[in-house]
Amino acid sequence: MTDPMTSADGAAAEPRHPQQSPEKAAVGTSRRDLLRGALLGGVGGLVVGAAGGSVAGRTLISEDVTDTIDLSAKYPFYGQRYQGGVATEPQRHCVFATFRFAPSAGPKDLQLLLARWSAAIAVLQDGRTVGAVEPTSALQPPRDTGEAYELGPASLTVTLGLGPSVFGDRFGLARFKPALFSDLPALNGDFLDPKYTGGDLSLQACADDPQVSYHAFRNLSRIGRGVVIPYWTVLGFGRASAGPGQQTPRMLLGFKDGTRNIKTDDELNRFVWIDRSDQPWLDGGTYQVVRKIRMLLETWDADRVGDQQQIFGRDKLEGAPLTGTKEFDTPDFAARDAEGEFVIKPLAHIALVAPENNGGIMIKRRSYSYTDGLAADGSLDAGLLFVSYQNDPQLFIRMQNRLGANDLLNEYIRHIGSGIFVVPPAPEEGHYIGEALFA
């Protein structure tokens, strides 16, 4: 296979930032002055509406909104047990893409594609281009499209997943299919649009610079031309917990998302990483579930804050459970108010999926906001690119069936896209993702 220090097609890889030694690059600016200016200018819209208890009258100006990020930071690709982009601290931007096989693609094409993609991902995560940006001959296009030249690695991780169809008859790989792996069944809450459903392969390219993640997706799809065809993509954004002192990000409904999530190695080992699978090639892998969830933002924005808080079971600004005062307080699902009613409603989002009420199970959520602009009726077309990782697809299926049937949030969301993929372990240097399937 291709030398990892060269491009996916054998050309010498170029440094993407040849004259820069890695340095801390400060991006983003404080919005404090802007907000202050707006307030002094008499814009009152920054004050949260009075309905809804604890947030009444509080403003959204934070005392410390300084934002720095190191765009020279990078993640190694080889020699890791697990692929990046799963346990990795979420970067700020993400391109999630699925691909379908070209009608003519056969087993050798798939093998070569996985080898070439692996070599290219290693180079991209290192902050280099996948080949010369300048054409080597006037008769040929450049090997790299060039838009990430000099941008730095920006903590890029590319996570490659294989769909259930990989293990069908087409490639002769049926004997490698893990027993737990098949297409997702119909689930409660499905409003799936075939345009955003399924796929033979997936690529999740996350980085702290949107152009770096898009460049990775674009050049990988270019390398795959003739073997795979891009099927559906989602561009995700969101201020993630990048850098010291960053807070839990908020999604477009305005609440913090990620307060209670898998964080420790013990939780990762119990619920995320596959170990002692019926398919030994998969140990160190995980199952990836993606859902494109449209939010009905106009309806949500007309709802009272107090009601919004009941829907999640959490306070909007602090993110505390309604039974506590601080974000990381443990929710008390048995607590009742003076009238004897549950403080956190049993059908609130967190009550339905918290491990306390769900046989102790957890999943690793790694979601981003997305927008597709405006819908045909002029409404805001936006929502959540929900991505979860778990070592058994049933963990997601159980949770979504509970949510889809009961969640107070259902009035405001629609699951319009879906896919499931298995993420093999990361390769050693000189090897490629999924190589064991072709041994």
Report the interhelical angle of 210-223 vs 107-125 (nearest 10°). Answer: 150
The distance of closest approach from Cβ of residue 147 to ligand HEM in the complex, given in angstroms and rounded to an integer, is 31
Interaction between residue 350 and ligand HEM (CB under 6 A): yes
Name residue 408's beta-bridge partners.
none
Interaction between residue 314 and ligand HEM (CB under 6 A): yes
> How far, CA to CA in Å, does 122 sit from each of 108, 267, 334?
21, 28, 49
The distance of closest approach from Cβ of residue 186 to ligand HEM in the complex, given in angstroms and rounded to an integer, is 15
Among 259, 277, 371, 410, which residue interacts with ligand HEM (rule: CB under 6 A)? 259
Site for ligand HEM in 417-436 (CB under 6 A): none
Among 97, 343, 384, 426, which residue interacts with ligand HEM (rule: CB under 6 A)? 384
Q: Which stretch binds ligand HEM (CB under 6 A): 73-81, 178-186, 274-282, 345-353?
A: 345-353
Q: By C-alpha distance, which of 255, 251, 273, 253 is closest to 362?
A: 273
The distance of closest approach from Cβ of residue 52 to ligand HEM in the complex, given in angstroms and rounded to an integer, is 15
Among 218, 260, 292, 316, which residue interacts with ligand HEM (rule: CB under 6 A)? 260
The distance of closest approach from Cβ of residue 355 to ligand HEM in the complex, given in angstroms and rounded to an integer, is 6
CA–CA dist 153, 149 (Å, integer): 10
- For ligand HEM, the closer of residues 305 and 437 by Cβ is 305
Q: Which stretch binds ligand HEM (CB under 6 A): 70-78, 92-100, 277-285, 289-297?
A: 289-297
Among 349, 385, 422, 435, which residue interacts with ligand HEM (rule: CB under 6 A)? 349
CA–CA dist 58, 47 (Å, integer): 6
H helices present in 26-129, as ranges: 32-40, 107-125
What are the strands, taking DSSP E only, across 284-425?
286-295, 364-365, 368-374, 380-390, 413-423
CA–CA dist 263, 87 (Å, integer): 8
- For ligand HEM, the closer of residues 221 and 246 by Cβ is 246
Site for ligand HEM in 261-280 (CB under 6 A): 261
The distance of closest approach from Cβ of residue 313 to ligand HEM in the complex, given in angstroms and rounded to an integer, is 8
List the helix and strand counts (H, then E) for the chain: 8, 9
* Interface map 229-258 toward ligand HEM (x if CB under 6 A): ----------------------x-x-xxxx
The distance of closest approach from Cβ of residue 53 to ligand HEM in the complex, given in angstroms and rounded to an integer, is 17
| Distance from the first to the final alpha carbon of the chain | 13
Q: Which stretch binds ligand HEM (CB under 6 A): 96-104, 111-119, 203-211, 347-355?
A: 347-355
CA–CA dist 100, 195 (Å, integer): 12
The distance of closest approach from Cβ of residue 366 to ligand HEM in the complex, given in angstroms and rounded to an integer, is 11
- For ligand HEM, the closer of residues 89 and 147 by Cβ is 89
Interaction between residue 396 and ligand HEM (CB under 6 A): yes
Structure-token pair, residue 371: 């927008």
Interaction between residue 403 and ligand HEM (CB under 6 A): yes
The distance of closest approach from Cβ of residue 430 to ligand HEM in the complex, given in angstroms and rounded to an integer, is 38
If you search the block for the tokens 């056969």, which residue do you land on?
Answer: 106
Exposed e or buried b per residue across 267-281, where buried means at least 16 C-beta atoms within 10 angstroms of its C-beta:
ebeebbbbeebebeb
CA–CA dist 394, 398 (Å, integer): 6
CA–CA dist 393, 249 (Å, integer): 26
Binding positions for ligand HEM, rule: CB under 6 A = 251, 253, 255-261, 291, 293, 295, 312, 314, 349-350, 353-355, 363, 365, 384, 386, 396, 399-400, 403, 413
